[in-house]
Structure formats: structure tokens, C-alpha cells
Amino acid sequence: MFEKNWKPLFIEELDAFLGILIVMGVNHDSKVSIEHLWSKNENFTIQFYRKVMPRDRFKQLLSALRFDDSTSRIVRQETDRLAAIREIHDIMRENCMRNYNTSESVTVDERMIGFRGNCKFRVYMKSKPDKYGIKVWVLADANNFYVKNFQIYLGKQMNIREKNQAERVVLELSSCLDSGVNITVDNFFTSISLANKLLENNMTLLGTLRTNRKGIPAEMIETKNRDEYSSKFMFTDKLQLTSYCPKKCKVVLLLSSSAPDTSEIDMSEQKSHAKIGEKKPQVILDYNRTKIGVDLFDMMAKDYPVKRKSRRWTMAVFYNFLETSLINAFIILKEKNESIIRRQQLVILAESLVAPYDQIKQNQSLQSSYSDEPPAKKPRSKKCNQCPPPHKTKHYATQFCSKCHEPVCSYHFTILCDSCKNNTNQ
């Protein structure tokens, strides 16, 4: 689309492009049309965008942005559905794992990248705000919500349903963790087999358990003759199974390998609006405290979203990577400077990305103002200046004379137009 007007892209211009996306997220302009954001009406627009980069150039970069070599993509896609953005994915994942060490409590959960376009591994989840999109399994710190590791769900491979998928995901995501870490998960991931395998790696598991899992004793899931807010505990050498009855005819099961020798019920952390007589076991309080890592990360991403509407799934994944890197950078910076707020961090980062590009533009304008060569004369018409009147409307100019800069058609062009060439010969 932009091949005729394409100009080479350099790194400072790409940084300025990312800075504009960040400012759009700060000002909540990601859903506003580009034409409106670059409007000349100063009463309704922010002049930052027009000052940094022309509208057509921003649209050009947005449309032309790619993340791999398209000539070899078809071959790579035969074995890798993420081939179009695999290199960026691996770099992003490696940096997340290398640049930060998590606390002793982490969360593994799924999140959704909203996308309704064409994608082979797009899923539907009615429980999510974005019901259609790309599913990502995330390992995040339970205390500050730093994303340590992630894995994109690529759908069924060769139309074969994967067995023990939940167990595989947790083990692969937790492979980057140190020993002694507790992993909190929901009932999709929790199993006795997973708890035992994590214990072999010196890690513990805490999670809700589905009542239809095999091996659960009947007395732990029965609801008849159970008092409201009552708790039952069952222990093995390494595991603890807790059955809590929050209301009549309902039980909640929790499996824990972090505290297999306690049945403590603590009221000190109960909320002020808790019901009279409500007593939750300590293991449930620990679960509620450490399960929110991925959910709160989602909330932070929606505070300043950089995502723009696109029909390409690679752009949706790229926007998610950008938001993840911004949040992770803020979390690391927050530990060194507790007084900084997130909006301030984003503004400072955007300014640092835009500044080198502004300096280059200023140098170019200064150089052109001191140049001895006169600016090229723009033709007033596309019609050939040398063609006689009968053919003036038929032969359109395809070149310009290098001396007088008049438009010349191919019949009269030999670097100089015929008039200038005759004057030179004289």
C-alpha cells in the first residue's frame, strides 16, 4: 500500500513510534481514530502526536510493522503456529525471566488477549471480559504482580487433544523459579500428581480442587448435615485437604502442600463485612491473598492500554508484549523509587523515546536551512513543458529537467530538456 512513498526506517524513528503508543495509553486515546488525534483543531486534540510524527507516517509504520521474514514464514508455520512473531516472543520471555527474581509466592493463571480476527488458535471463554481472543498462561508474582513467565496456547496440534495439559503448563512455567516457592493455582490446574511433582522440585502447591477429581474421599465432598462455615481437614505425610462449607449444600475443596500439618482457623484477617459466625480456615485466607497476582496484572494493563484495533493477531500479541514490558519495568523501578507513580513513569519513558528522534529532525532542518543548493522547483503541472500544443494533453511528464526543473515527458528527456540542451550547445 505504501511502497511508492516508503522511506527507510531507522531505530530512533521506531522508538518515537513506540513513544506515541505509550502516550496514547496514558491519555486513553487508543480507541480514538488516528484522523481525529492528528486533527489541526487545537481545541479538541493533543498536539503531541502532530509534533512528533506526521499522521501518514504513523499510519504507514502501523500498517507495515512485521516481526519476521515473510519469505520463510510458510515453511516455519508448518511446525510452529507462532512463527510470525516467534523471535519477539522468545526475546520477551527470556527478558522477563532474567531481569527479576520473584518472592516466595507466585500465581499461575490464564488471561485473554482480546482479538476477534482470523487466528487458528483463537478461543472463546465466556467467563472473561474479552470472550474471544488468544489465551495466555501466566506466572506472576503474588505480591507485586510481576510477570515472570508466560506461554501462549496454540490450540490442538494435529487435532489431538493433549493429556495432562494443566500439569505440563505449571511445570514448564515454574522451571525458571528457585526452590522454596509456593505456587497458587485454581481448580483447572490443581491435582495430587502435580503437588507431588512440585515437591520433588522443592516447591509447594496451593489451589482449589474440583469435587469430581479421582481419589477424593466421600466424606470431604458430602453436603448433607454440614453446618454452615464448618471445615474438615484430612492429612497425609506431605499434603493437606481442606473442605470448607461457605453455605448450605456447597463445599469448597483446597489442596495444599505448604502447610500439611495445621487446621488453624484464624479470625484476625476476616473482613469487617464478614457474616456473623463466619470462620474461614487459614489455608483459604492464604489462597485469597496469593491468588490475585494475574488478575491484578490484568487490571493494571487496562489502566493505560496501548492496544489499537487491528485485524492481525500478531499486532494483538505485540501490544500485549508492550503492556507487559511497561508494567514489569514499573514494578522494578518501584522497588528502587517508591515515590514514583505509574503515570509519571510512562510519561518519562515516552519522552526519552521521542527525544532522539526530535533531535534528528532539528538537525536535518538546520542543515537544509544552511544548504547552498537552491530547493528543487516543484512543477506546476504534470504536462510536458516541451510537447507542442496538439500533444500537450496526451504526453504527461515522467521526469524533470535537472537544470530548470520543468516537467518533461519521456520523448524529450535526456537528463536535460531540449531547450536547456540547445542553450548549452550554443
Tally Cβ neighbours within 10 Å of residue 136.
19
How does residue 394 score in pLDDT terms, banded at 50, 70 and 90?
A: low
> Are 345 and 333 a contacting pair, CB within 8 Å?
yes
Q: How far apart are CA 378 and CA 114, in angstroms?
A: 48
| Domain locations in the chain as residue ranges | 1-65+341-373, 74-295, 389-425
Q: How far apart are CA 230 and CA 242, in angstroms?
A: 11
> Are 278 and 298 a contacting pair, CB within 8 Å?
no
- Give the pLDDT confidence score for residue 391 in this predicted structure: 54
Among 176-190, 268-282, 285-299, which stretch is predicted with the lowest mean pLDDT? 268-282
Q: pLDDT for 258-273, tens place per residue?
A: 765 555 666 554 454 4
Q: pLDDT for 8-45, tens place per residue?
A: 889 999 999 999 999 999 999 999 999 999 988 776 67
- Give the pLDDT confidence score for residue 409 in this predicted structure: 75
- Give the pLDDT confidence score for residue 272 in this predicted structure: 47
Q: What is the CATH number of domain 74-295?
A: 3.90.350
Contacts of 130 (CB under 8 A, 6+ apart): 112, 113, 114, 115
In the predicted structure, residue 415 carries a pLDDT above the cut 60? no
For 103, the grid coordinates are 518472592
Q: How far apart are CA 161 and CA 165, in angstroms?
A: 9
> Are 314 and 85 a contacting pair, CB within 8 Å?
yes
Q: pLDDT for 284-307, tens place per residue?
A: 999 999 998 899 999 999 999 999
Distances 167 to 98, 187, 194, 213, 381 between C-alpha atoms, Å: 24, 12, 6, 14, 71
What mean pLDDT is predicted for residues 375-393?
61
In the predicted structure, residue 344 carries a pLDDT above the cut 60? yes
